[in-house]
Chains A and B, each alone.
Chain A
Amino acid sequence: MIKYLSQEQTKLIYKSRAWLTPLILFALIMIAFPLSIDLFGKQTSDLFMIIIVISLLLTNYLAIDDILLEDYEDGSFEQFLTQNRSLFSSVLAKLIILIIYKALPLSLLTILFASVNNVDAFIFLDLFLISFFCQILFLNIFLFGSALGINKGGLLGLIVVMPLVFPVIIIFGQSLTLLQNNSSIDSFLLLSLGISFLITPMFSYLSSLILKMHLE
């Protein structure tokens, strides 16, 4: 597993374009949105809460983009199969690297922009955790989608998994509202932690199963 992880890490590090794109897009959205509204009339912190889930959704869709596609098109997956390497492990490794190298920096950026938009400092930790778990779920679902639509482009995958995304958006949107009203969301965070741990191997397994079907 360590070997898989380090391989995927090497691939991602040298592909700076893929690594930077979601981060830059996220920063651009965050810079652009206050400009589009009347800055003095409204509370930017309220609007920040509204826009955060959607911008995470967009950036994560972009982040997953060609994570599987590249290895599918250049025949790497076929090589894995013929060399008795586990497809599941390599998909899981990809996902974990993605979470560490993309979701984590994005969560940090979330905090940065939260402070820019006058969000109260004492909810920063909760906000960080919410955006992190939210992204883990998004990445899992989009991974599944990109595995499903791997030979027909990303849009098919997006359409197919959209119904899975909606509940995540609703629930995390609600949790942000609760957070804004100073309610405690510790139990929700605990639940998200549990779900993230469960869903990551599960969706990696499903995706590897689907990939194997696509290779036939």
Chain B
Amino acid sequence: MSNKIINKFASAKTYIETCDKYFLFVFIPSIVLIIAGWSWGIFVAPPDAVQGDSYRIIYLHVPSSIYAQLIYWIMAAWSAIYLIWKVKLAAYLTKSAAFVGLLVTFLALFSGSIWGIPTWGTWWQWDARITSTLILFLMYLGLIALHDSFNNQNKADNLMSILTIVGCVNLPIIKKSVDWWSTLHQPASITLTDNPSIDPAMLYPLILCIVSFGFVLISMGVLVSKIIIFNREKNRNWVKNYG
């Protein structure tokens, strides 16, 4: 009974209609905010005392690193919803989130490597947090590869959800195990509890970038999920009548 109610309100059709209605309210702010955040960070914020101008890549690096993990937790939540209530929409969203997560994790690694050249003198280091981000990247890649290798999509959804949850258990283990290595990475500059160890003039644009990145990722996720949903439900009547 409860399944029916959930499936009615969480149908792909309702989702697409809602997205169409509100998409611009997310998309336009995301563009405006990201431009504002980046131009503030690049042109207005003061240069760093030690690193000069090269630190400015944090306005790309920090947001992408934050969302790289966050997206995985969101995926795990959706997978749980899919496995418990069999809500198909949750499976579609898991898949779309995996693509976004892959992109963001790649951005985090890539921007980190660029930043590493002037600051550490090398673009790669087997440091704890870089390694765990690389493993996260492989996890996203594995999930997508697994899903794409099946002809029967329902089966693929099931397996992907199981694997996402197994990986979710694995994430803290990876973190603990790589922390065994002596780490080169600077400790987190912004925490919710302590006073930030970063100058407010650099911090405010960073916060703006983090927020705007969230908006960008949501609109990206919506676009990807639309492609996936139309592909998966192409034989349904509502898709044929759409637009």
Contacts and interface: CB of A to CB of B under 8 A. Distances in A.
Interface in B163-185: 163, 166-167, 170, 173-174, 176-178, 180-181
A216 B152 contact: yes
Nearest to B146: A160
Interface residue range, chain A? 20 to 34
Given A167-B174, A170-B178, A160 B162 contact: no
B231 to A, nearest CB: 20
Interface string B42-78: 0000000000000000000000000000000000000
Contacts of A64: none
Contacts of B170: 163-164, 167
Contact of B141 (A151, A159, A213): A159
Given A159-B141, A163-B170, A167-B174, 5 more contacts: A163-B139, A164-B167, A167-B178, A170-B180, A209-B162
Interface of B: 131, 135-136, 138-139, 141-143, 145-146, 149-150, 152, 155, 158-159, 162-163, 166-167, 170, 173-174, 176-178, 180-181
- Main DSSP-derived SS at the A contact region: helix
A206 B142 contact: no
Given A163-B138, A210-B159, A148 B146 contact: yes
Interface string A97-129: 000000000000000000000000000000000
Contact of A163 (B145, B150, B162, B167): B167
A40 interface: no
A197 to B, nearest CB: 17
Contact of A171 (B135, B162, B166, B180): B180
Contact of B177 (A148, A171, A210): A171
B145 A213 contact: no
